[in-house]
Amino acid sequence: MRRMPLIATASVVAAVGALLSTAATGSAAAPLSSAAVASMPADLTLVQVRQSLLGSHSWYAQTYRGVPVLGGFYAFHSTGASASVDDGRRVVTGLTSVSPGVARSSAATAAKGHGNARSSRLVVVPGAAGASATLAWQVTTDQDKQVLVDARSGRVTRVTDERVLANGSGKVFDPNPVVALQNESLKDANNADSAVPASAYTTVTLANLDGSGYLKGSWANVTNSKKGKNAGAFSSSLAFAYTRSDTRFEQVNSYYAVDRVQTYIQGLGFADVNHEAQDLSINTTTQDNSWYTPSQDTITVGTGGVDDGEDQEVVWHEYGHAVQDDQVPGFGSGSDAGAIGEGFGDYLAATMSQGSSADTATTPWACVMDWDSTSYTSTTPHCIRRLDTTKTVANRTGEVHADGEIWSHALWDVNKAFGRDKATRIILEAQFSYAPTTTWAAAAQKTVDAATALYGSTDAATVRAAFQARGIL
């Protein structure tokens, strides 16, 4: 544990010296001596004193002008003849006032998306790496979430799940066997295990499980019923190792895909993009299709051809629809917005595969659903669609998936210019401002505007050029 000490070494020595003299008088487990207390930094409040076999452990919380500092602590350990200080106080700079600009009740309202407020308190949030500290309301909700609401802007800046979550393990295709094996000749063979070599599987950590033994967690929730031939997978030891002929395999693959994409989105800094457990109904239709249902907020994954749940790019595509529906209520009406939905879903699938596989001549990143599409395409590489076609607005057909290839190509050009993190951050930020029935031109302009606000005019010009190349702007 490495933390930034704030006080001079001399005063730590003084405090330890005081403790040692306490120990020497034979009262190691007693509360701190008045000399030790007197030499302590002033910005602390006692949280608790615990007695162990060897002595006492006094824990303090750091405060700044009376307000608790998030993550800041200070501890005296007095064990037998030795005593030590663990100074975990954080540097607080640049904070001019500790009176909130936003009322407690407004903070509770801002946190509503994560549950009803149970309690709230004002906290100081230390800045990262020398940046200014900020003041925030820390709202604890009835969904066991801790929500930080900036006390000046009123915006939610961080959401943490208080529940202690479990990791399990699972066997998955990452992102699918065609990419993993670099083999465009693989065939479904009616879901036979023998059709896909064992080397196509990867054993992964399934994160953020709730520990119930089902594939239920913070960001993904397999809703399959508990009984029947398509029952939800259960493992009390949270070990989910199945092969593709087992209907539970697609549940594991889908849970993993969704947990990973939500975790990635959070890593980009977004605390409020479909920030909930996504319901997943796996292998519950025999259609060769998967879909997102806004009114149910559910992704349904089908078993036609190659089981869709065997290809994470299918799941990521559907998650793209869930993301946009979460960002903008009723998003996707009209052919322009509909095509943006399909194009963004394909983009999200491609950029997630970017994170764990190479861009090769056999399986280019721009190719979407390499494995699922083996059952309905004959040319290689097998792709349901691509992000690098030559199409422009002049080639629009009115069919949203086909037209989505025009939109996704623009997003892909942004990705190629900036890399996946920066590009996806711009795109996600922009989508908050898309109208449900947006036109392409309006949505493209919002994306340029988001780039301007996040990174400045030079990068915004790059984004504009990507849309111009497709005839969108």
Which residues of this protein are in contact with Ca ion, per CB under 5 A?
191, 244, 274, 288, 297, 304-308, 326, 353, 367, 370, 372
Find the shortest distance in angstroms from Cβ 345 to Zn ion. 5
CB atoms within 10 A of CB 17: 14
Find the shortest distance in angstroms from Cβ 331 to Ca ion. 12
Q: Which residues on neighbouring strands pair with residue 217, listed in sequence order?
A: 209
CA–CA separation, 97 vs 215, rounded Å? 46
DSSP class of 305? S
Choose the one of Zn ion, Ca ion, none that binds residue 385, judging by a C-beta under 5 to 8 angstroms depending on kind: none
Choose the one of Ca ion, Zn ion, none that binds residue 345, judging by a C-beta under 5 to 8 angstroms depending on kind: Zn ion
Choose the one of Zn ion, Ca ion, none that binds residue 315, judging by a C-beta under 5 to 8 angstroms depending on kind: none
Cβ contact 210:216 at 8 Å: yes
Here the tokens at position 316 are 């990521």
Find the shortest distance in angstroms from Cβ 342 to Zn ion. 5
Residue ranges of alpha helices (H) inside 355-473 are 400-418, 420-431, 440-455, 457-469
Cβ contact 30:51 at 8 Å: no
CB-based burial, 93-104: b 16+ in 10 Å, e otherwise: eebeeeebebee
**Nearest residue (CB) to Ca ion, 89 versus 260:** 260
Choose the one of Ca ion, Zn ion, none that binds residue 288, judging by a C-beta under 5 to 8 angstroms depending on kind: Ca ion
Interacting stretch for Zn ion, rule CB under 5 A, among 158-166, 254-262, 340-348, 425-433?
340-348
**Nearest residue (CB) to Zn ion, 342 versus 413:** 342
User: By CB under 5 A, is residue 332 in contact with Zn ion?
Assistant: no
Here the tokens at position 248 are 């539970």
User: By CB under 5 A, is residue 302 in contact with Zn ion?
Assistant: no
Find the shortest distance in angstroms from Cβ 400 to Zn ion. 8
**Nearest residue (CB) to Ca ion, 210 versus 297:** 297
Find the shortest distance in angstroms from Cβ 160 to Zn ion. 31
**Nearest residue (CB) to Zn ion, 279 versus 342:** 342
Using DSSP's 3-state secondary structure scheme, residue 214 falls into strand
Find the shortest distance in angstroms from Cβ 202 to Ca ion. 16
Sequence-distant (≥ 6) Cβ neighbours of residue 458 within 8 angstroms:
none
3-state helix, strand, coil in the chain (%, to 5): 35, 25, 40
**Nearest residue (CB) to Ca ion, 250 versus 459:** 250
**Nearest residue (CB) to Ca ion, 132 versus 376:** 376
Cβ contact 374:304 at 8 Å: no
User: By CB under 5 A, is residue 345 in contact with Zn ion?
Assistant: yes
Choose the one of Zn ion, Ca ion, none that binds residue 306, judging by a C-beta under 5 to 8 angstroms depending on kind: Ca ion
Interacting stretch for Zn ion, rule CB under 5 A, among 108-116, 261-269, 322-330, 341-349?
341-349
Interacting stretch for Zn ion, rule CB under 5 A, among 50-58, 98-106, 268-276, 335-343?
335-343
The conformational region for residue 447 under phi > 0 = left, psi -120 to 50 = alpha, else beta, is: alpha
**Nearest residue (CB) to Ca ion, 244 versus 470:** 244
Cβ contact 254:222 at 8 Å: yes
**Nearest residue (CB) to Zn ion, 43 versus 308:** 308
- Strands (E) across 162-237 are located at 166-173, 201-209, 220-222
Tell me the C-alpha to C-alpha distance, in Å, between residue 188 and each of 173, 193, 374: 14, 9, 8
Residues that bind Zn ion (CB under 5 A): 342, 345
